[in-house]
Structure formats: structure tokens, C-alpha cells
Chain A
Amino acid sequence: MKKTILPIAFAFATILSSCTSDDDTPSVVIENTSNLAVAVASYGGTTPDALLAVDNFVEDEVSPIGNGIQQPGGIRRLYYQVGKTIISSSYGDGGTVIGYRFVDGTLTEIGELAPDSAYRILSKADNTTLIAIEGAKNGLEDRVFNVIDTENMSITKKVSTPIEEIADENLISWPSGIIVRDDKLFLSYFLVTNDNFTTPKSNEARVAIYNYPELTLDKIIRDTRAADIGIYGNFNGLVTTEDDDIYTYSSSSYASGYNPVPTLNSSILRIKNNETDFDSDYYFDFETISGGNKINFMHYAGNNKIVVRMVTDDSGLWATYAPTTDAPVCKVAVVDLIAKTVTEVPEIPLHGGQWATPTVNYNDKVYMNISDSNGAYIYEIDPVTATAIKSPRTISTQVRGLFNVN
């Protein structure tokens, strides 16, 4: 009972104080001390997202109704976190990229920039440096690295490169993941036809290695044991461990946009600490070990474990890009990269995939959006036990960003 009296008393006090003061009384701001935030998409996708501070991810209902900061709408946005800065970036040309930080417990805009064309992938070099790449979907055009100082959201450097281009076959590179390790930038990419986005030459894993911060090409490493790395619209082709080992995944999934489907199994490769080549001793045949599933997304959970979103039915082209689907094909598993085991998380049902899947580590748990045509939920996944807890249904069609700014 006491618990209910307090908020009522507080509400009365708020009303009274707002009645007695003349005008322009600022509404009482309850400072956020958790430094957690969520970005949610509303309605059919043409309405704006909202970025809002939350106390927790799975206990209370996440709702953008009268809550949070309106994002520019009309086109989907990409979210990312660089150190203390939350990045919100337009996926359409002519949009802007906004940086937010918690200032005195309140999410506050710290700067906004206008790129020449939309950023297709966001990643970080360090806690104040965002690496973003512009890339036209059509035509034989250079990709443009943008190095951005997240202290004031300014572009400090631009480097133009095709990454890899096969002009007579109309093939261009689409970046799918970036890891900066010491003085090297590792960029995974896949080759697509520039007018219809087919993938006729994907039976090879490729990573371009650049010298950092010069952004000059060092070399491109290739491996024919696995297919092209990463998938369209996600930034997670590469992950790095506490030991600075880099792991890559090859999806080989029609439902994740590979058309035609590579003949090689969906699998994981490694680039070891201090090495700049694929580790020829390491090959993880995910597809066989998981019993026929394909990797759609991976996230590093710590202690050589990753959380994987996997495709259970690969029959529909692009089918994993349907966060509100009524025919879900994705499941979640915890994968041990060393022991090469795949453990399905039983609490998470079949669900739709999404663009730029949001995941975040917080208090040794991994948080992730799980959605389908019945609604969008945040799941708290324990990578040790491979179990999960479900949040109340969020007031959204999908959670687009999960941030732990601690």
C-alpha cells in the first residue's frame, strides 16, 4: 500500500506546484541513473522512431507515447553506440546523423551532421571515433570511409575506395562489418550485382585489411572454406574477443539476401590475435553442428561465447528482414566458439529478423529485440545457461536500438 501512496502524493505535489507557479514551469524531470536507452520504431515504418531513456530493459513496458526524443522519420534509421555517444543515422540520402549523450541523466543531443550520402554501416575505432561508410546501392561507385569525432559529431577524414570491384560483372562491394585492432582496420564485405543485388560470386570469404588511421589498403584476405561474410543491413560480420581474436560468420542464407545461395555451408572463421590472415586451423561448420540452421546475425557475449540469430527455414528470399512477419523463421542460440557447440535458447520463439539488429551487453546478460506480427519484445539472454527472460510487450513494431551507456 505504501508503495502506491508515495507516487500519488508525488503526483499531487507536482500538480499543486504546477498550479501555483505562473507559467513555463519545467515539468519535473526524473533523472535517469541507469544510463540505459532504447530506440523503438512505431507503426508501419513511415512514422518517426523515438529514442528514450529507460530504467531497465525487461521489467517495465517500453513506450514512446509521450516519451523520448522524436527521430527524423519517413525512412528507417540505423543506431549505434560509440563509447558514451548514441548515434542515430538516416538510411536514406539527404538525411542526417545525430549524436546523443546522457547529460545529468537526460538524453541530450550533442551534435548533428549531414553526410554527402547515407551511411550504410556504422562502427567504431575507439570510444570517440565513429567509422561510417557511404555506399551507393547502384552503379560502380566508390565506398567512402567517414571518420567522425563523436565529441562534436564532425567528419575529420574521408577516404574513397571501391574496396573490391569487378566492373565487367557489375559487382560491387557491400560492407558488412568493421573491427579496428591496433593499427589495422578489418572490413568484411560481400560482392553484389550493382543493379539487382544478386550474389553470383559469393563462394568465398573476404576481409579487406586497411592501415589505420591512414585508411590505405594493406591487403585483401580470402578463404574458400566459407562464403561471403555478413549480410545486408547489419554491421556484425566480424566480432572480436577479449584476446583480440576476430571471428567472422558466413551466412550462405537465401532468407538473408544471398541469391543465388552459395554452395558452402554457413560457418565461422577466425583471424587470430596478431595475425592478418584467416586461421587455417579453425573452421566451425555451424550449419552442420546446428542441424541445418544458418547464421543471420552474431553478437559477442564474452568468454568466447556469441549469441546467434539463426535461420531455420531458408526458403523465402529476404525473409529475415521482416520484423513484423506472420511467418517467422528465426531462432536464437548461444554458441561456444572454442568448444564449437550450439545451444538453442528455448524461451525465445520463432521470430522475424531485422535490419541492424540491436543487441547490448549489460550485467553479464545480452539484450536483444525479438519481434513478429504479435509484437516486439526485449529478451534478456543469459549466455552461460542459454536461457532467456521476456519483457512486457513494447509499444512498438520493433526495437531498433539498445544502449548501455555505462
Chain B
Amino acid sequence: MKLTPHLNIKSKLLLCCFISSIAVMTSQNNRIKGCVTDKQGKEVVGAHVTIIGFQETNITDYNGCFSFLKPKQKNYTLKVSYLGYENYIQELNSEEIKTLDIQLVEEATALTGVVIQGKSKAEKQREQAYAINVIKTDIYKNSNIDVNQVLNQVPGIIVRKEGGLGSSFDLSLNGLSGNQVRIFIDGIPMNYFGSSLSLNNFPTNVIESIEVYKGVVPIHLPADALGGAINIITNKNKKNYLDLTYSLGSFNTHIASINGQHYNKENGFTMNLKSFYNYSDNDYKIDVFIPLSDGRIPSEKTTVKRFHDAYTSKMVQLELGVTQKKYADELLFGFLFSDNYKELQNKPLPDKVIFPFGEVHERNESYISTLKYKKKQLIKNVDISSFIAFINAQKKYIDNSDFKYDWFGNTTNIVPSTTGEYYRKTDLTLNQKNIISNINLQYHLYQNQLLTFNLSSNYYRIKGNDPLSEQNLIQFGNPSTTNKYVAGLSYSFNNFNKKLNNTFFVKGYDYKINGIETDPTGINTKTVERKEDYLGLGMASTFRFTKHAQIKLSFEKAIRFPENLEILGNGIEILTHINLKPETSYNLNIGYRIKKYFQNDNQLHFETNLFYRNAENYIYVRPELVFKTYDNLENVLTKGIESEIQYTFLKKYVIGINATYLDIREKSEFLPATFIPNTYYNSRIPNIPYLFGNVNFRLNFNNLLQKNDKFSITSLQQYVHEYSLYFDEIAEEDLRRIPTQFSQNIEFTYTDKKEKYNLSFAVNNLFDSNLTDNFNLQKPGINFNFKLRYHISK
């Protein structure tokens, strides 16, 4: 791949800064350093590390690591203790210079009567002041569940899918969706990765956890998110391992992944591989109205099989570098390739009659190079974490069939024709280049105060070609570019014995787009440049009033800039709207959270969050003359509540219930772009699910076939209350409601005692219900999945 980005001065500066930061190394030979993990290779956070006979106690950080001055004497004894684990004791010689890699072993004896309260990293994250949900995905490693299904179980989130594997989806977080919610992989904004890498194909196996920030986004996730962010954290396991999975499912679905890591303790050399392959025919049955030969629509539907909905995607990512060196905790070069092929069976949002396509498809591929550098205590009390990513993505969209298809696979030749199956014949290629860089500096001040600075830049360029479509040539023929810079500064501090935790932050946005503005005939074009600066601010605060309970309060004035298409239009159908304002939202969360441990290993987790989103200049599409244009809607106000309760009995049986209610209202005084009083003032915004929830059960058994093996049954139920496609005030009867949905999945998982072989079997849509997330777009009926996973590690 070519790495000849069009860097401007700011990005050059940032690059220099990045490189020089790597060069700055500190000699820390007089320190003892190490990291503590458990049997699974997970970091143990909060373990006590002491030298026997000395007063000083060190506590492992979020990465499970510690570092402190060596004692003067030559031989000494290090002790690591953590509740629920056996004490780790090691004799050390001060002349040895090495990084310690300590693995704790769980206490074998049953701790009857003793309550284990060691907090996982995820638990620590959950205790942050932000409104956050952290999903530890390790329980899904053996499961057939994909990321979207995992997210669907988070209160406040609903993912609406159009169909089967790889289908388009819409994720709504507390009522905001699309570009308003930003998605990251390890802190890198995912929407620039190209369409080949998305939440609908990313395998749960390579994910360690998922963080969902609601409304208020910390500065280390740099993007102009209006309604929150989702950060997918991939495996940071520090062990050598190999993980192979293969799953076979209904509709000829095959999903495979190979992941592994080699880590050399002696020299810190680290190599890791993440890869996946997905395929499905998605030929599930749906019920459709098939017009008679005279055009009339019969009263009965016919059951047909989808025949042009196949999906393939694959990805390989290789990272090479060193970890746990004195000059770098992590220095990794990465290369990622991903591509996909997707057939389109029909228009995205059909009304009553669905006309099938037989040849429309799209292809995407992305080449991504990354460089990551992390170092704690780079200089005294300063931690650095940074990355730079170069992305080349290509998207092809092809609709050039000379045939018209019906649901039975019959074709009619319509040569000569300029019309494709969807719209005018198209053979569109879009080339996207993207350079993203980020640098994050943390300065540990006196007495648990933390000052964080984050600077990110994002350069995006798109250019396309289409020999068949004038419209696409006008829109994409000349490159359009976007430069976004987001700088953030935050200050965190504790009071009252760490009971009160506060963070205040400001974010500065600098934004510039360049593109071509075209008149509706496509004849007159002119170059457009738009440049703007904005300031956002926010805070998050939490108070732990007992050992188990905390309240949280967070606020952000969030801003999202319009994308190129929204401002420049597409040259013909979508008009330029050069003065489109950025959308802003005032986001407020008040939460209460409790995690209580009882005797007999029973646990209670309860969390509730009240949220408020006051979005101004909400961006939407409005018809204008004979065209369309993106415009600002005066005001949309959302109030809502979400709650989650989870109870664990005897560490074996888990029941979880969550529910979300959204009150999302139109608050514009006048109808869009008029002085006509808005009759729908205070009406519920249509086509957004507003009442939904989940009930999950998980039963774990041991010693089923052999000693210490594991067997579990997981049952997932989702409820979505009916909602309207349109303002339901209009007309006598709402003929286009999306009916109440109740879906039921069940899964059986078996793991042998060495955790080498894992089997699982899932039944989705157990009751073969007619499920749909969108009006008249049916999802698959009952379907089955079988998954095999092989895992070795040392």
C-alpha cells in the first residue's frame, strides 16, 4: 500500500511529536517492575506488592503492573497478595535486571464464609464517574453470539438489523444513532476503517471487553460524538496462546477465526495475530406480497426464500513489536487487511411490496497500518499513550444488471436499459484515505490528582469514479477532504478518602472541509471550504457513600460536525447546504450503582441511570424543491431511564434483567423550515424503539463428564415494545406499526477441564417468531449454530 498522505503542517507536527516521544527514554535500572496476571492471563488490578520487611506497599495499576525502587540490599523477597488468590513469593537478587511476570493462582480451598471482593479491571472501569457499561466478553468467547447481540443486552442500547449475517444495522444509544454515536476499536475511530470492518462482523473472540460511554465521552476517545461512544477493547493478553474457532450455522453460515500471540519474556518481542472469516447465504424464508400479473396485490402473502443476500468478510491483523521493555510498555507495528462482499436482496426500507434484486452487490476492502506506543512513567509522573493509523479503503457498489428478477428466480431481460435494479446503473468505486493520530499524556499530580491531555487529528479524503453514472462522477470525481482536530484537557481529583471522584474536561474542536459544490444541473461547480472551531465541556463525578454503592453524575455539551455529504450534497439529488450547523446536545446522566457480595458467593449488581439529551440543530434530511437537503431540526429532547439488575447465586447461576424507557420528543416550535406552528410539538419521534429490555439466565455446572469441566446453559430473551414508523397522531389508524417483538435464544456450552476444547450449540429465535426491527423487513426464523473452539496457552 502507498503511504503518501497529504499531510498538512498540523499533522506533520503531530507526527514529529509522536516520533520524538518514542525517542525519549528514561533509564530506570534501579526499579523493580512487573505485571501480575491470573491463570487466564488477565491483568490483576489492585494486587498488593510488597518486599518482606519493608513498609512500602505498591498496588498494581489498571494494566496489572507495578514499579518501585529497588531496596539497597542484594537479596530480598517479593510478596504479591490478592484476595481469593494464593500469595505469591519470590526471592530476588538486585543485580538481576528484569521485568517480572507474575501469575497468581486462585485459592483452592473453598472460602466458605469469606467474601471475595477483588475487583476486576472491568469492575474498576464501571466504578468510573462516567455513565458507562463495561461488558466483559470472555463469557461469549465460546458462544455464537456476535458483538451486536452483546450490545443489544446493554441497557439503553438497541441494535436494529435489516436481516441476517452482515446486514446493515442501526445502533441507537439513549435515542441517538448513526454518526451521533461513535465507535472505536482500541480508541481508534472505527467509522473510518471502511465498511469492511464493522460491528456486524467483528468476532467476539478477539474482544476482551466493550465499554459503552453514554452521552458523556472521556477525552481519550477523540471524536465529535453527539450521543456517546462505544470502545471495543481487543485482547491484551500477555501470554503465548493460540485460539482457533469454527462455527457452522443455518443458511450455510460458516464463521472461523484464528488468533494467537507469541511473547518472549526475555527480550519482550511480541507478535500477535487476529483473523476471521465469515460467510453466509442468508437464504432464510420471508413472507412477501407478490403482485399478480395484472399488478394487483393479493390479500395473502407468499413464503419465499431470499436468494441474493450472501455475505463474505475476512480480516487478518498482524502486530509486531515489543512489550514490557524499559523504553516502552508497548511498541507495536500493525498491519490489517479486511474485505467483504455483500449482496443486496432488496431496497433498504421497502414499503408494502418488496421487489427482489438479483445482482446488486457491494465490495469493500481496507488496508490499515498502525503504530502504537505506550509507556507509563515516561518521565517522572508522566504516562504516554499514542497511535497513528494509515487507512486506505476502497468501496465498490455495482448495480448494472440487464435483468429484472422475481422471487422465484425468474428473470426478464430488459436490454437496452440504463436503469439498474435499484436505481440508475452504477459501477461506483470510492477510494478513501484516512490518517488518524492520537497522543495522550497523563500527568500524575500530587495527591491523586491527574491531568490528562489528548490531541487527535483526523484527515480524510474521498474520491471516486463511476463510468455508468454522471451523478456519481459529479459527486466524487473531485476529491473532498476533511480535517478534524480534537484537543482535550481533563483534570481529575479525589476527595474524602477517595470517596468522591471528579473529572472536569474541555474539548476543543477544529474542523475543516474542502469539496466541490454543484448546482442541481451538475454543470456549474465551485470549490468550497468551510472551517470552524468549537469548544465543548463536561464533567463526571461519583460519590461512593458505602463500600458497595455509588452515585454518579455526568454532563457534557457535545458537538457533532456534519459529514462531507451532509454539507456538500451529492451533486444532483442531495443539494449543498453550506450553512448546515453542527448539531449540539446537552447530555446529562444521573446514576446509582450497587455491587454487593453476600455469603455463599452470592452477588447482587444493580444499576440505574436517568438520562437527558437536549439536542439542538439535530441533522436530518428534508425535501427541498425537487431535491433533498440535510437540514437542522430545531430541537429534539430525550428523557429516559434504564436499569439493570443481576443476581449471582453460588457463583453458578446468574439472572440478569434490564429495561430501558425513552421519552424522545419533537420540540420544534414550527414545522421544519416554515413558520407553521408544529402540530407535532411534543410528539414522540417516530421509528425509534422506546421501551425495550432483556432477561438473561445463565446456569453453570461443573464435573459433568470429567472433573473440573464446565457446562453452561444461557438463555437470552429480548422484548421490544411496538412503535410507530411515523407520527402516530396522523390519520385514524396507524397502519405502519412495528409490532411488539419477543425473541428467545438459547445456548449450551461445554468446556473441558483444561479449557482446550470448547463446544457450543445455539438455537436462535426459538419460537420461530416473525421478527423485524424495521417496517416490513423480516429477520430469520428459527436457526441453529454449532461452534467449536480450541485454545492453548502457556
Contact = CB atoms under 8 A, between A and B. Distances in A.
B623 interface: yes
B522 interface: yes
B730 A65 contact: yes
Contacts of A300: none
Contacts of B729: 65-66
A54 B138 CA distance: 63
Contact of B351 (A46, A72, A146, A257): A72
B623 A112 contact: no
Given A43-B727, A374-B674, A198 B521 contact: yes
A23 to B, nearest CB: 17
Contact of B623 (A76, A93, A136, A197): A76
B650 interface: no
Contact of A65 (B295, B624, B679): B679
B735 A233 contact: no
A195 B469 CA distance: 9
A276 to B, nearest CB: 31
Contact of B675 (A115, A198, A232, A326): A326
B521 A43 contact: no
Interface stretch (A10-18, A121-129, A150-158, A335-343): A150-158
Interface in B417-455: 417-419, 423-425
A155 B293 CA distance: 8
Interface stretch (A240-248, A277-285, A315-323, A380-388): A315-323
Contact of B736 (A48, A194, A257): A48
Contacts of B523: 196, 198
Contacts of B351: 72, 74, 90, 94-96
A47 interface: yes
Interface string A58-75: 000001111111111110
A136 B420 CA distance: 11
A108 interface: no
B732 A66 contact: yes
Interface stretch (A1-9, A137-145, A180-188, A205-213): A137-145
A68 B671 CA distance: 21
B522 A43 contact: no
Chain B contact surface mostly: loop
Nearest to B519: A317
A64 B350 contact: no
A233 B623 CA distance: 15
B623 A70 contact: no
B736 A73 contact: yes
Contact of B676 (A65, A96, A374): A374
Given A70-B731, A318-B625, A48 B419 contact: no
A76, A111, A113, A355: most-surrounded residue (chain B CB, <10 A): A113
B358 to A, nearest CB: 15
B297 interface: yes
Given A94-B347, A96-B353, A156-B294, A50 B674 contact: no
Contact of B731 (A64, A93, A152, A154): A64
A195 B470 contact: yes
B572 interface: yes
A197 B296 contact: no
Contacts of B676: 324, 373-376, 393, 397
Given A232-B626, A259-B521, A375-B676, A70 B353 contact: no
Contact of B521 (A69, A70, A96, A196): A196
Interface string B728-770: 0111111110000000000000000000000000000000000
A124 B676 CA distance: 35
Given A73-B736, A96-B352, A138-B424, A43 B672 contact: yes
Contacts of B733: 69-70
A46 B184 CA distance: 32
Nearest to A393: B676
A257 B522 CA distance: 15
A286 B28 CA distance: 93
Contacts of B297: 96, 112-114
A259 B523 CA distance: 12
Contacts of A257: 626
Interface in A67-106: 67-74, 76, 90, 93-96
A254 B396 CA distance: 37
A113 B734 CA distance: 21
A68 B731 contact: yes
B140 interface: no
A257 B521 CA distance: 11
Nearest to A45: B623
B522 to A, nearest CB: 5
Given A112-B297, A155-B294, 14 more contacts: A47-B726, A48-B736, A74-B351, A76-B623, A96-B297, A111-B296, A136-B419, A140-B418, A141-B417, A197-B520, A257-B626, A373-B674, A373-B676, A397-B674
Which 9 residue pairs spanning A and B have beta carbons closest together?
A: A139-B418, A70-B731, A113-B295, A45-B623, A155-B295, A154-B294, A114-B291, A44-B672, A195-B470
Interface of A: 42-48, 50, 52, 63-74, 76, 90, 93-96, 111-117, 136, 138-141, 146, 148, 152-156, 194-198, 232-233, 257, 259, 317-319, 321-322, 324, 326, 355, 373-376, 393, 395, 397
21 contacts: A42-B679, A45-B622, A46-B623, A50-B730, A65-B679, A69-B733, A70-B731, A70-B733, A73-B725, A74-B349, A76-B623, A94-B347, A114-B355, A136-B419, A141-B417, A154-B292, A155-B296, A195-B470, A197-B520, A321-B626, A326-B675
